[in-house]
Structure 1
Amino acid sequence: MAAEIIEFPERRPQDRLVFSVAQLEAMVREVERVAADDPEAGLDRLLAATERIGQQLVDLADLLLDEVTRLQAQSAFESLAEKIAETRETFDQLGGRKST
């Protein structure tokens, strides 16, 4: 039995960019849908989606920006993640969190 080596095409940076943008678009559609359906009940889902969008933007920054600017973007989104955590904590303390 002869073994055949299969070579898979290398993923180019453009492929990663297209994939990342597509994921970002899907996340934005999810946020729009949740916000339209019931924003109060979906707050936790909206915050989680915001976190995922932030991470996706950091991934895109890695593909598009120089090192200094990429690090600035990463720092900004880390700050956003901290603010989201504070928002969740405040909402929990107010007793307003609903299960989703």
Structure 2
Amino acid sequence: MDENFQKSNELLNAGAEAYRKGDYVTAQEYYTQAAKLGNVQAMCNLGYIYEYGRTGKRDYKKAFYCFKKAADSGSAEACYKVGDIYFYGDAGEKDYGLAFEYY
């Protein structure tokens, strides 16, 4: 197994554990490290942290960036979230055509 893949999954799991405990700052740190190693689920999870403002103010633009990057890497979950952001216009203008493409 690839060393970066294994490390990224360990970081993802540590982030998920911190998130479950309500320690969103630590979760964000682990997810960021895992995402830098190419972990698509960690990138998607970062999107949720930004979307819901778990570590501060909601940031739909950062959430969109994370979801879009994960969607472009094949995450069906992130595709759905990108579609939502386009549909509701959370990160800018509503675009039903693009929302449909991602749903």
TM class, shorter-chain normalised? 0.3 to 0.5
With structure 2 as the length reference, what TM-score do the two structures score?
0.35
Q: Which has the higher contact order (CA 8 A, sep 6+)?
A: 1
Q: Which has the larger radius of gyration?
A: 1
